[in-house]
């Protein structure tokens, strides 16, 4: 039995689906169902007896202590977080609460659970914390990619809150001997990606005939990883990662934002052509994100050498799958893009005109 937190969000739900496709070890899935969590992502496992969904907050110690006592998981995998940089700029408070305070509460619950296990249980337990490459800050165009020894230098309230949680996780290993693992992954994309983030937002806006907002000059670089490759990396770290260690995970797919947007437009032109013109005609350069990180890039040598993990998708194959998934699942997109989503889009993009 494993306990997954945030398993109704983008990466968490992909992880749960991937896990249940590979084994029948049950998953308890604890998720608060914020705007970013959607049970529709888990529709295909709704009747699977190996998937136990619990709506709740990782910061609710009573609830979490009860779940740990009842299910006795051998591993806790923490995806739960506030995850959108632009939202963290508009309102950092939820990020401090969930990513720092609630993660601290979760660590306290797991520390107490670990202390109560027998020696064998203590040795077997893992707390895997899913983090981001954004904790390392921003690279210059010529800098070497981030490795695990890079100094943390977070620049947004989101990345600062994730950095704080990474430090707490590290401290719980160093001080209390909690068997923790941390993964720092680059930008993910794929099915069930909430349409506030660049790739699904561009697909949705393109099909709706709306403008495709590119921040600043569109020259910022992200290192894109197909979400299922990230899920495989997490399973590899859980299986054979060394407690106390961190593992950088990346796709070796550095792309400029404008390149990503143009690639999506070209795929849509091929799969869902407009009556006239290209989707690229809808591209609009808008006011930049404050403090916009210029470049992220991951050196994944450690996880490759120690755990034999390599991404299976190239950017070309992954983005093709992703665009086709969104074309086939437009109902899912409209279902998650509810009233609060529309309010967010209005407030984030109105000020960029």
* Binding region for ligand TYD (CB under 6 A): 85, 187, 197-198, 201, 213-215, 220, 222, 257, 289
User: Contact between 79 and ligand NAD (CB under 6 A)?
Assistant: yes
Q: Which residues does residue 181 pair with via DSSP β-bridges, in sequence order?
A: 128
134 versus 282: smaller Cβ distance to ligand NAD: 134
- Burial category of 63 from C-beta neighbours within 10 Å (exposed 0-12, middle 13-18, buried 19 and up): middle
Q: Judge whether 328 counts as a catalytic residue.
A: no
How many whole angstroms separate alpha carbon 245 and alpha carbon 30? 25
User: Contact between 34 and ligand NAD (CB under 6 A)?
Assistant: yes
222 versus 232: smaller Cβ distance to ligand TYD: 222
User: Contact between 33 and ligand NAD (CB under 6 A)?
Assistant: yes
Of positions 5, 156, 282, 348, contacts ligand NAD by CB under 6 A: 5
The total of other beta-carbon atoms located within 10 Å of residue 344's CB is: 17
Residue in 82, 134, 254, 313 annotated catalytic: 134
The entry of ligand TYD, ligand NAD, none near residue 220 (CB within 5 to 8 angstroms by kind) is ligand TYD
User: Contact between 11 and ligand NAD (CB under 6 A)?
Assistant: yes
Q: Judge whether 133 counts as a catalytic residue.
A: yes
- The answer to whether residues 339 and 81 touch, using CB atoms and an 8 Å cutoff, is no
109 versus 220: smaller Cβ distance to ligand TYD: 220
- Residue that is written with structure tokens 């093709």 in the block: 320
- The DSSP element (H or E) to which 132 belongs, if any, is strand 126-132
199 versus 279: smaller Cβ distance to ligand NAD: 199
How many whole angstroms separate alpha carbon 124 and alpha carbon 239? 10
Q: In this structure, what token pair is assigned to residue 121? A: 């249980």
The entry of ligand TYD, ligand NAD, none near residue 201 (CB within 5 to 8 angstroms by kind) is ligand TYD
261: closest CA among 311, 308, 205, 307? 205
161 versus 257: smaller Cβ distance to ligand TYD: 257
- Residue that is written with structure tokens 């496992």 in the block: 45
Nearby residues of 47 by Cβ (< 8 Å), 6 or more positions away: none
- The answer to whether residues 76 and 5 touch, using CB atoms and an 8 Å cutoff, is yes
Binding mask 145-174 for ligand NAD (x = CB under 6 A): -----------------x------------
Query: Of 27-35, 107-115, 210-218, 321-329, which segment contacts ligand NAD by CB under 6 A?
Result: 27-35
Could you give the residue numbers annotated as active site?
133-134, 158
């Amino acid at each position: 039995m494993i306990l997954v937190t945030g398993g109704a969000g983008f990466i968490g739900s992909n992880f749960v689906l991937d896990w249940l496709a590979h084994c029948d070890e049950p998953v308890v899935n604890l998720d608060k169902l914020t705007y970013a969590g959607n049970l529709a992502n888990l529709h295909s496992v709704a009747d699977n007896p190996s998937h136990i969904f619990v709506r709740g907050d990782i910061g609710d110690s009573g609830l979490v202590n009860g779940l740990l006592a009842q299910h006795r998981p051998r591993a806790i995998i923490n995806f739960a977080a506030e995850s959108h940089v632009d939202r963290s700029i508009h309102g950092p408070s939820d990020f401090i609460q969930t990513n720092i305070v609630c993660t601290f509460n979760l660590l306290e619950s797991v520390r107490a659970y670990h202390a109560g296990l027998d020696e064998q249980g203590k040795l077997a337990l893992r707390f895997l914390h899913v983090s981001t490459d954004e904790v390392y800050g921003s690279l210059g165009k010529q800098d070497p990619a981030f490795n695990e020894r890079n100094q943390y230098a977070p620049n947004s309230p989101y990345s600062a809150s994730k950095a704080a949680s990474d430090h707490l996780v590290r401290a719980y290993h160093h001080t209390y001997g909690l068997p923790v693992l941390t993964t720092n992954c680059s930008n993910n994309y794929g099915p069930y990606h909430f349409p506030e983030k660049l790739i699904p937002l561009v697909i949705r806006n393109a099909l709706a005939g709306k403008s495709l907002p590119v921040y600043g000059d569109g020259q910022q670089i992200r290192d894109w990883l197909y979400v299922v490759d990230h899920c495989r990396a997490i399973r590899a770290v859980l299986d054979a990662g060394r407690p106390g260690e961190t593992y950088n995970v990346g796709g070796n797919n550095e792309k400029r934002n404008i390149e990503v947007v143009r690639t999506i437009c070209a795929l849509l032109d091929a799969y869902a052509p407009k009556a006239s013109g290209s989707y690229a005609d809808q591209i609009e350069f808008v006011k930049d994100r404050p403090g916009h990180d210029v470049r992220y890039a991951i050196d994944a040598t450690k996880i490759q050498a120690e755990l034999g993990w390599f991404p299976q998708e190239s950017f070309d194959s992954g983005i093709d799958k992703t665009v086709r998934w969104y074309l086939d699942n437009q109902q899912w997109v409209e279902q998650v893009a509810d009233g609060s989503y529309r309010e967010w889009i209005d407030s984030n993009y109105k000020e960029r005109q």
